Structure 1
Amino acid sequence: MSEVISIAASQASSHLCTQLYNVQESYIPYSKTASPTHQNDVFLEPSRSNGRVNYYPRALSVEFSGGYGYLGKYAFQEPAPDLTAFGDVEIDQRPRIEKNEYQQHLDAGQPTDSSMLNVNNTKYWSDYNKLVYKPSSLLTLSEYNHPDGTHKHFNRLKFDLFNIGTEEYKKYGDEIDESFRKLLESSDNIQGVSVFTGLDDAWAGFSNEMLIQLRDEYFNNGVSSKYNIWCYGITSGTFTKQRTLTRIKSLVELSKNSSLFFPLGLDTSSDLLSDDFVASSEWHRQAAHAYFVNSIWCSNNQFEKRSTMAEYEANLLRGADKRNIVNEIAVHEKKSNSATTIIDDPRMIEAVMKGEISTSQKPRSLDLSFNPNPLNAKPFFTQYIIPEDQSLVDELQGRISINRDINKIVDSDSFPKIFESSSLYTQFGQSTGLKDLFKQYRQIIHHARAHKDLELIGDKQELIEDISCVVDEYTQGYDSEEESE
């Protein structure tokens, strides 16, 4: 087998991963007569005892204090403590987070359905999580409080900038190393690691230090063709001067220390999103990202027409290992198969005859790129993941991978009704669209002067050189380096 270990650092990252693992849970054969369609051991760790098999996520989650909601580190291993023995002793406790109806039904072995979940009772990813986590998979940054990352002793200090995360990691490096080692020891032939993190806050600095440590400790002192270390960076949409500097620093460092880097944005104005979509809900936002990532995951462990991390990476990079930022990511609606549209309004008929409107509706798309790409951007490589559909194979230009279950995630009762269509496919790749953006970033870093800004970005000249390398990698053919200066 070829296992994949996932690390989620931040609440948003864990929301995304929960949807992914809920899909994997649906592939577990709960009866002896069930016919498996996917290799469950890729993303789940089987534990066999007394003729039974339990599956645990091959995952590590890092959260702020209080970020696990009702879920305690040992919630599945130990009974709740009896505090009556303490008598009149005053015990300082957080307000208890109660399980919602969905979790109560899961505990009781009763059926669940989507009506049990809404934006008000899914504040935590644990509210709709279906799998049991081992205690070693749940780590907490004890000095920062959920949800906004305020320091428990210093209210003005927040977990918001790249360099803060870098410093904080030093306190947890040994604990993370021990937890990761346990996950690694349970794997026979690891395929790769997927790290999910924030892009615009201190989680990026924290995760970058983690990538450096894991890469140096376990992956031959560098990213090699044998191991695939992918990083997904989730944008926040909150922009201040220092958040912008954090994003620039994060893009450069995370791409340097991973073999593929996927910065994830979200165009909330897309008409592919339903009227029920709530932009302030992480449950909704990360479900959109999860659709894209799940298209890769389920093509990775399906028994037929499987596409591995190594295959995706080799096709995207084609030897250009430093051009590893995937700057074009989208979800598309499949064209309708209906051949005709009945129109009985005379004014509409006249408009159609004049060519002012079309009878066919243009398929909708959702852009998940972290920054809009210019229309004249030239693609280096485009990858599609589609359902088994010959019409799409004939229509699309690029490399195509088949995922027969690509739309299964939208049928999960934990997945919110955020899309206007359930007939979707995904696209990702690189283009020259990143070049001009990084030229702007280079100017921003060049003009950074304040002490706090320089403390955040570190070695200014080195960062400028790294940005220039990205510009060179995303410049195609005879494009002039000065044309957009």
Structure 2
Amino acid sequence: MHEIITLQLGQQSNYLATHFWNTQESYFTYSENASDDPLIDHDVHFRPGLSPDGKTETFTPRTVIYDLKGAFGSMKRVNALYEVDGDEPDPAQLNLEGMAGARQNPPPKSPPITPSPYTEALNAGLRPQRPTPATVKYFSDFSRLYYHPRSVVQLNEFEVASSVQPFEQFSTGEELFRELDKEHDLLDRDLRFFAEEADFMQGFQVFMGVDDAWGGLGGGIWRGLANKSRAFTELYTHSSILVPLSIPSRLPSSLSNFDTTSLWHTTGLLASAVESALLPSRLRGQKKETLNTIIETLDLTGKQKVAGLQFSVNASPIEDLSEGVQLDMSLSGSGGDQIDAYSMRGRDERMPRVFSQLVTTRGGRRVRRSAYEPITKTYSTSLAFPILDSFPEIFTVERDDDEDDGKDEKKEEEGREMTVRITTSLSTDSSVCTRLRRLKDTVIKSIGLEDREMIGNELAEMAEEYHEGWSSGSDSGEDD
């Protein structure tokens, strides 16, 4: 079934992943009409199963959620799908060891965390009101679905937002990984369950932060830029494709009421782009891609592992692909390293040379073709991005004009009548060379002499793979 298993590492990643899973859940249909079959193949990201009583069918994400003590909010490892007899502590009182239960000497119980108004409404079977940044304190505060008990893994060795023992240094995460892996064999304990039940697993999808200790834990040893560079070079070695994500410094008019200080808002924007860019891996039918074919499209040389993600909302059809797609927002890069369509327009600078790209349009607008263009794959689907009641109101939304008034009213009652058209581009291009060189020049000033030469050389070698003079030897495009 070409299953994809997801790993979520840390608070920011879990916010983003929650938006991702909420969107996947919205694609489920419960009609017996064959013509209403979903466009999405849910088996890629969801696993069928049975509750402990063997009577209730369940469908839960193929994911493992790592976070610190106090980061899960009111989320419980055992939920309505997997209720058992007796008192079941929530993750704030339990250091999970697979399904083996708590340690011999579990930590003292903490006061229970009150569910958010959004969660309480869902639990009561009511239509919830859209959350606000003030009411979202944990990623579970806007989650719409249940997870398998094995998906929830809390690391009680550290507490979220602790000033006494902060989880900041790359080396801290690396040391914690060594200790936990030595004691439990994390891959065997946390991933084996999901991997063994897959029929034909195609790969892993990993959400993780790299500017704190999660970079060390995920990479598998410093603060700020030093964390990023160390995690970046480590992940480059082990990843097939690495896509850095960040919020651009300049935002287009298609974003409204966007709060850059709200993790709920910022991860919502990133999640809508990630979910849309990888939509071809979940589409049913002949247009369905796999992670391998996506990787082969982007990494033509075997060494161009860093891809950029661009994003537009409600954009007009793309007229020309001859120089590669340049969309409204670049979500790869940050600060002075940001190279996006806005910052490049109106300045006497050349656009980056695009080597390969995968363009996805959703909401009914097809990409127009060009006779000369980089190595390209394009996808178009009528499935627009849904604006759920768990999602922040950051986009200018559209209503489906094809629906009659009765259906619109029904959809409004369900709170799912709003959608946006999204275009994304995953690409490898020469701007990666510039960003890696700037990162190298900046980071070598802030790290010790012992690591300066090693990290500097690694970043320089990575940058050379994206030098503008590189040529694939082929200018033919590929249209799916």
Question: How far apart, CA to CA, are the structure 2 residues paired with 1:436 and 1:402?
Answer: 29
Residue equivalent to 1:136 = 150
Partner SS, residue 224 of structure 2: helix
Q: Is the counterpart of residue 313 in structure 1 residue 305 in structure 2?
A: no
The one-character-per-residue Cα deviations of 1:364-419 (angstroms, maximum 9, x if unpaired) are 8232122312653222223211126465334896624325255333x222111112
Deviation at 1:107, TM superposition (A): 1.9
Residue equivalent to 1:465 = 457
Question: How far apart, CA to CA, are the structure 1 residues paired with 2:312 and 2:306?
Answer: 18
Residue equivalent to 1:393 = 368
The one-character-per-residue Cα deviations of 1:418-455 (angstroms, maximum 9, x if unpaired) are 12352321112122112233333334455556xxx46x
Residue equivalent to 1:63 = 67
Amino acid at match of 2:368: V
TM-score computed with the length of structure 1 as normaliser: 0.75
The 1:81/1:256 distance shift into structure 2, 3 A limit, reads same
Q: Is the counterpart of residue 433 in structure 1 residue 425 in structure 2?
A: no
Deviation at 1:92, TM superposition (A): 5.6
The one-character-per-residue Cα deviations of 1:330-381 (angstroms, maximum 9, x if unpaired) are 33541299xxxxxxxxxxxxxxxxxxxxxxxxx9823212231265322222
The 1:105/1:74 distance shift into structure 2, 3 A limit, reads same
The 1:447/1:39 distance shift into structure 2, 3 A limit, reads closer
Deviation at 1:478, TM superposition (A): 7.4
RMSD: 3.0
Amino acid at match of 1:38: I
Residue equivalent to 2:359 = 384
Residue equivalent to 1:159 = 167
Residue equivalent to 1:474 = 466
Residue equivalent to 2:209 = 198
Residue equivalent to 1:372 = 338
Residue equivalent to 1:482 = none
Q: CA contact under 8 A between 2:211 and 2:223: conserved in structure 1?
A: no
Q: Is the counterpart of residue 417 in structure 1 residue 393 in structure 2?
A: yes
Q: Within 5 A, what are the aligned runs for 1:77-476?
A: 77-78=83-84, 81=87, 93-112=109-128, 115-146=129-160, 148=161, 150=162, 155=164, 157-173=165-181, 174=184, 176-177=186-187, 178-209=189-220, 242-272=223-253, 274-304=255-285, 305-318=287-300, 320-335=301-316, 365-370=328-333, 371-373=337-339, 375-376=349-350, 377-387=352-362, 389=364, 392-394=367-369, 399-404=376-381, 407-409=384-386, 411-421=387-397, 422-444=420-442, 446-447=444-445, 453=448, 459-476=451-468
Greater Cα radius of gyration, structure 1 or 2: 1
Deviation at 1:53, TM superposition (A): 2.8
Deviation at 1:188, TM superposition (A): 0.8
Residue equivalent to 1:19 = 19
Deviation at 1:469, TM superposition (A): 1.2
The 1:400/1:51 distance shift into structure 2, 3 A limit, reads farther
The one-character-per-residue Cα deviations of 1:101-131 (angstroms, maximum 9, x if unpaired) are 322232233334xx33111222211112122
Q: CA contact under 8 A between 1:71 and 1:126: conserved in structure 2?
A: yes
Deviation at 1:82, TM superposition (A): 9.7
Q: CA contact under 8 A between 2:73 and 2:138: conserved in structure 1?
A: yes
Partner SS, residue 248 of structure 2: coil
TM-score computed with the length of structure 2 as normaliser: 0.75
Identity %: 22
Question: How far apart, CA to CA, are the structure 2 residues paired with 1:332 and 1:439?
Answer: 31
Question: How far apart, CA to CA, are the structure 2 residues paired with 1:424 and 1:439?
Answer: 31
The 1:163/1:274 distance shift into structure 2, 3 A limit, reads same
Deviation at 1:471, TM superposition (A): 2.0
The 1:38/1:82 distance shift into structure 2, 3 A limit, reads closer
Which ranges of structure 2 fall in alignment gaps of 5 or more residues?
90-106, 319-325, 398-419, 472-480
The 1:24/1:275 distance shift into structure 2, 3 A limit, reads closer
The 1:46/1:60 distance shift into structure 2, 3 A limit, reads same
Q: CA contact under 8 A between 2:259 and 2:265: conserved in structure 1?
A: yes
Q: CA contact under 8 A between 1:7 and 1:195: conserved in structure 2?
A: yes
Q: CA contact under 8 A between 2:74 and 2:115: conserved in structure 1?
A: yes
Question: How far apart, CA to CA, are the structure 1 residues paired with 2:328 and 2:443?
Answer: 34
Question: How far apart, CA to CA, are the structure 1 residues paired with 2:194 and 2:391?
Answer: 27
Question: How far apart, CA to CA, are the structure 2 residues paired with 1:459 and 1:191?
Answer: 35
- Tell me which moved more, 396-405 or 260-269: 396-405
Residue equivalent to 1:213 = none
Q: CA contact under 8 A between 1:388 and 1:402: conserved in structure 2?
A: no
Q: CA contact under 8 A between 1:101 and 1:116: conserved in structure 2?
A: no
Q: CA contact under 8 A between 2:254 and 2:313: conserved in structure 1?
A: no
Amino acid at match of 1:27: Y
Deviation at 1:48, TM superposition (A): 4.5
Deviation at 1:261, TM superposition (A): 0.3
Which ranges of structure 1 fall in alignment gaps of 5 or more residues?
84-90, 210-240, 338-362, 480-485
The one-character-per-residue Cα deviations of 1:175-207 (angstroms, maximum 9, x if unpaired) are 532110011112111011011100211111110
Question: How far apart, CA to CA, are the structure 2 residues paired with 1:107 and 1:469?
Answer: 52
Question: How far apart, CA to CA, are the structure 2 residues paired with 1:444 and 1:275?
Answer: 33
Question: How far apart, CA to CA, are the structure 2 residues paired with 1:402 and 1:336?
Answer: 13
Question: How far apart, CA to CA, are the structure 1 residues paired with 2:358 and 2:186?
Answer: 33
Partner SS, residue 368 of structure 2: helix
Question: How far apart, CA to CA, are the structure 2 residues paired with 1:37 and 1:130?
Answer: 20
Question: How far apart, CA to CA, are the structure 1 residues paired with 2:88 and 2:392?
Answer: 37
Amino acid at match of 1:39: D
Q: CA contact under 8 A between 1:331 and 1:368: conserved in structure 2?
A: no
The 1:405/1:127 distance shift into structure 2, 3 A limit, reads farther
- Tell me which moved more, 196-205 or 368-377: 368-377
Amino acid at match of 1:54: T
Question: How far apart, CA to CA, are the structure 2 residues paired with 1:125 and 1:60?
Answer: 14
The 1:161/1:57 distance shift into structure 2, 3 A limit, reads same
Residue equivalent to 1:341 = none
